[in-house]
Amino acid sequence: MKIVHFHNPGSPNVEQYKDMFAEHGIAYEQHPEFLSAEEQMAACRGADAIVTSILKFPREIIGQLDESVKCIVRTAMGYEIVDVAAASERGIYVCNVPDYAMQEVAMHQVALIMALCRKLKIYDQFVHSGEWTRQSMVPGYECRRISTLTVGLLGLGRIARNVARAMLSMGAAVCTYDPYLSRETVEALGVKYCATKDDLLVQSDVISANIPLTDESYHIINADAISKMKDSVIVVNTGRGGLVDTDALVAGLQSGKIKAAGLDVYEVEPFRDMDHPLMKMDNVILTNHVAYQSTESFEELQYKSALYAMQGALGEMPAGAVNRDCREKK
């Protein structure tokens, strides 16, 4: 049996668990992630389980994998880089690690909301530039008291629930639109239930998307959605870059419709366009897709990725499988 791990420096590394693999008769083999399709296929030969961080596994690759492949593990919360339908057709489990950074991403989101409401970026720039004024008012961008705001969460999964608890503890109102949850479930958490997305858009002072990136959720925050938002709304995204239409976001910021924005994810990453309008706005905070990071979360991610790969290689259903009935569909 063999686990093939596609790894690049800085991404989660399961190599430290190769002794655990060996105890179960599983060999470990590591390859770089930046490969051609031909190199990728050659590296996968004889694999029982595959671990990937950013290397994509589309239908055309999955269709050529050896019969020995039993699972593909994505070392992240999302699994959009793997064609789950194609894998299921071949009886291959697809795994992610959805719960390794619940606190980290939620607190990063809360930190962005707080920093934007308190204009911390601007105040920091004032001090570092040698200025000292307690006015520092930017027209249309005044500090806000958290307890006067309504925070709208698109999706109320585990991360969003942590955000809701934090914001509620500071006196903010919280509402959500999540078509997969009942009114009773939402209201039991102290959160206002919105029957439609538009209901959330029209009443929220802060809006954050906390949903997976799918064909349906792509650009869920677009020009039409922004036009329905309250004036001077704050937009935050720590989920997936494709949830927000970047051009529409920029237009909203330039017009003043959007008061401020905080982003940890982008439609194109790495985001290095120094001439991009977002790079030049004082009312925008940008971080480099690091919301998930902490010493503890990284260790948990690596261990669970290794565990799921080992379970899959042994012919078991991995605990992190998202297509748990794939063997029935084969």
Q: How far apart are CA 32 and CA 5, in angstroms?
A: 8
C-alpha angle 183-188-189 in degrees, rounded to nearest 5: 105
Q: Does the annotation count 15 as an active-site position?
A: no
Other Cβ atoms less than 10 A from the Cβ of 85: the count is 13
Catalytic residue among 158, 289, 300, 327: 289
Q: How far apart are CA 324 and CA 318, in angstroms?
A: 9
Q: Which two tokens mark 240?
A: 């997936």
* Rounded (to 5) percent helix, strand, coil in the chain: 40, 20, 45
Coil vs helix vs strand at 83? coil
Half-sphere exposure of 165 (CA within 13 A, CB side): 11
Catalytic residue among 15, 142, 269, 296: 269
Catalytic residue among 5, 7, 161, 240: 240
Contact 168, 187 (CB under 8 A): no
What CA–CA distances, in Å, run from 15 to 215, 242, 260, 306, 318? 34, 31, 42, 8, 19
Q: How far apart are CA 35 and CA 32, in angstroms?
A: 7
Q: Does the annotation count 240 as an active-site position?
A: yes
C-alpha angle 199-259-264 in degrees, rounded to nearest 5: 85
Task: Tell me which amino acid residue 100 is.
Answer: Y
Q: Does the annotation count 89 as an active-site position?
A: no
CA 66 remoteness from chain centre: 31
Contact 178, 197 (CB under 8 A): no
Please name the residue that has the structure tokens 């029957």: 195
Handedness of CA 183, 186, 188, 190 (dihedral sign): negative
Which active-site residues does the annotation give?
240, 269, 289
